[in-house]
C-alpha cells in the first residue's frame, strides 16, 4: 500500500457545481484513470447516487474489462445515498456520517475523487467542506458564470458573488472549523472555443476579476470533443486509449490527453506532486 499524500490521509478532490451539464463526471473519471495510471491508489465516490453517472461509468469500465479480457486499472468505489430522514438537521447529520464512512473505507488511498450532484444538497455541502482541492468545471459562457457571480450586462464588470460562490464560502468556513484546513479552489473553463471570440475574452476577464475577489484559480479545461462522450458507454477515458486500442493516437486524441495531463499537473498535491507534474509534461 502506498503512503498517503497528506498527513490527513487521502487527498480529496471534489468536483462541484450546482449546474448540471458542466462535465463534472467526465472530469472526475479522467482524473481517476489518470492518477491510477501514474501509480497512485485512487478511490472514487459518487454523491449523486440517484442519477449515478459515476457509478454507471465504473460499472461500464468493469464490463469492458471483462468482455475484452483486458486489465483496466480500477478505483475503489462507493456510492453514497442521500438520507431520507424527514427532519432537515437529522438528514444532514446522516448524510455527513455516510460520507465519512465512505471516506474512512478509503483511508489507504492516495487520492479520492468525489463527484457531487448538480444541486445544493446537504450531501454536496458535506463533500465541499471536506475538500482538499475543489474543481468547478464551467462551460465558457455567462450562463454558467451566473452560478459564480452576477455581471453588469453593459460593461461586464462583476457586481457580486452568486449562490454557488456563497456556498463554497460557507464550505471553506466549515473546513477550517473541522481541522483548521483550507482547500484550493480551481474553476475549470470547459469547452473553450478555438476562435478568439469576444465572448471568450469577456468571460475570461470576468473570471479573472471574480477570482481576485473570492479566491479561486482558473485553468483551461477540456475542449469540445465527441470522443469524451463516445468513451462513456465503455467506461473508458482518453488515458486508456493506447493500452486498450494499441497503435498510435490521432492528433486530436493526443491533444485531448494533454488537456487531462494539464489538469492533473495543476492540482497541488502535498507530496509526490512533482512525479505527476513531470508526467503531465511527458509525451502523450
User: What is the model's pLDDT at position 106?
Assistant: 96
Work out whether strand 76-79 and strand 158-161 pair parallel, antiparallel, or are unpaired.
unpaired
Is the alpha carbon torsion for 190, 194, 199, 200 positive or negative? Answer: positive
DSSP string, 231-245: HHTTT--GGGHHHHH
What are the φ/ψ torsions at residue 118 (nearest 5 degrees)? Answer: -85, 55
The span from the CA of 152 to the CA of 36, in Å, is: 43
User: What is the model's pLDDT at position 49?
Assistant: 83
What are the φ/ψ torsions at residue 213 (nearest 5 degrees)? Answer: -80, -40
The candidate with the shortest Cα–Cα distance to 111, out of 55, 190, 22, 41, is 41
* 4 falls within a domain: no
CATH for 125: 3.40.50.300
Tell me if 8 sits within 8 A of 179, measured CB to CB: yes
The answer to whether residue 281 scores a pLDDT higher than 70 is: no
Number of domains in the chain: 1
Confidence of residue 100 (pLDDT cuts 50, 70, 90): very high
Tell me if 77 sits within 8 A of 43, measured CB to CB: yes
* 181 falls within a domain: yes
Segments forming the whole domain that contains residue 269: 11-281
- N residues, the chain: 284
Confidence of residue 2 (pLDDT cuts 50, 70, 90): very low
The span from the CA of 67 to the CA of 86, in Å, is: 43
Consecutive H or E run containing 265:
helix 251-266
Q: Can you state the angle between helices 24-37 and 251-266, rounded to 10 degrees? A: 90
* 3 falls within a domain: no
User: What is the model's pLDDT at position 243?
Assistant: 75
* 234 falls within a domain: yes
* 84 falls within a domain: yes
The answer to whether residue 195 scores a pLDDT higher than 60 is: no
The span from the CA of 62 to the CA of 74, in Å, is: 8
Q: Can you state the angle between helices 122-129 and 163-179, rounded to 10 degrees? A: 50
* 6 falls within a domain: no
**Reported pTM:** 0.90
* 100 falls within a domain: yes
User: What is the model's pLDDT at position 5?
Assistant: 44
pLDDT digits (tens, 9 = 90+) for 212-267: 999 999 998 888 777 777 888 899 998 988 777 666 788 888 888 899 999 999 99
Tell me if 186 sits within 8 A of 134, measured CB to CB: yes
The span from the CA of 17 to the CA of 187, in Å, is: 10
DSSP string, 138-197: EESSHHHHTTTEEE-TTT--EEEE-HHHHHHHHHHHHHHHHHS---EEEEEEES--SS--
In this predicted model, which residue has the larger pLDDT, 103 or 48? 103
User: What is the model's pLDDT at position 256?
Assistant: 87
Query: Average pLDDT in the 43-48 region?
Result: 95
The answer to whether residue 273 scores a pLDDT higher than 70 is: no
Confidence of residue 103 (pLDDT cuts 50, 70, 90): very high
* 24 falls within a domain: yes
Across all residues in the chain, what is the average pLDDT? 87
The span from the CA of 21 to the CA of 156, in Å, is: 24
pLDDT digits (tens, 9 = 90+) for 150-184: 999 888 889 999 999 999 999 999 999 988 889 99
pLDDT digits (tens, 9 = 90+) for 247-257: 678 888 888 88
Amino acid at each position: 500500500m502506498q503512503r498517503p499524500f497528506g498527513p490527513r490521509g487521502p487527498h480529496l478532490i471534489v468536483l462541484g457545481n450546482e449546474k448540471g451539464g458542466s462535465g463534472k463526471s467526465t472530469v472526475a473519471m479522467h482524473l481517476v484513470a489518470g492518477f491510477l495510471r501514474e501509480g497512485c491508489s485512487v478511490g472514487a465516490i459518487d454523491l449523486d447516487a440517484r442519477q449515478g453517472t459515476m457509478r454507471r461509468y465504473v460499472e461500464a469500465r468493469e464490463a469492458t474489462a471483462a468482455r475484452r479480457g483486458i486489465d483496466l486499472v480500477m478505483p475503489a468505489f462507493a456510492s453514497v445515498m442521500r438520507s431520507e430522514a424527514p427532519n432537515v438537521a437529522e438528514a444532514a447529520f446522516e448524510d455527513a456520517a455516510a460520507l465519512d464512512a465512505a471516506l474512512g473505507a478509503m483511508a489507504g488511498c492516495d487520492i479520492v475523487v468525489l463527484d457531487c450532484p448538480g444541486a445544493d444538497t446537504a450531501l454536496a455541502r458535506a463533500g465541499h467542506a471536506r475538500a482538499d482541492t475543489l474543481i468547478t468545471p464551467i462551460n465558457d459562457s455567462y450562463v454558467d458564470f451566473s452560478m459564480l457571480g452576477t455581471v453588469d450586462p453593459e460593461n461586464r464588470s462583476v457586481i457580486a458573488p452568486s449562490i454557488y460562490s456563497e456556498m463554497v464560502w460557507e464550505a471553506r468556513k466549515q473546513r477550517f472549523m473541522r481541522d483548521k484546513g483550507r482547500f484550493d479552489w480551481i474553476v475549470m473553463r470547459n469547452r473553450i472555443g478555438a476562435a478568439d471570440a469576444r465572448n471568450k475574452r469577456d468571460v475570461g476577464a470576468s473570471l479573472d476579476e471574480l477570482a481576485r475577489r473570492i479566491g479561486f484559480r482558473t485553468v483551461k479545461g477540456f475542449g469540445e470533443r465527441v470522443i469524451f462522450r463516445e468513451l462513456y458507454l465503455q467506461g473508458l477515458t482518453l488515458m486508456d486509449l493506447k493500452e486498450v486500442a494499441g497503435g498510435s493516437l490521432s492528433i486530436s486524441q493526443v491533444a485531448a490527453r494533454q488537456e487531462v495531463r494539464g489538469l492533473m499537473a495543476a492540482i497541488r498535491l502535498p507530496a509526490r506532486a512533482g512525479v505527476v507534474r513531470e508526467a503531465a509534461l511527458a509525451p502523450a
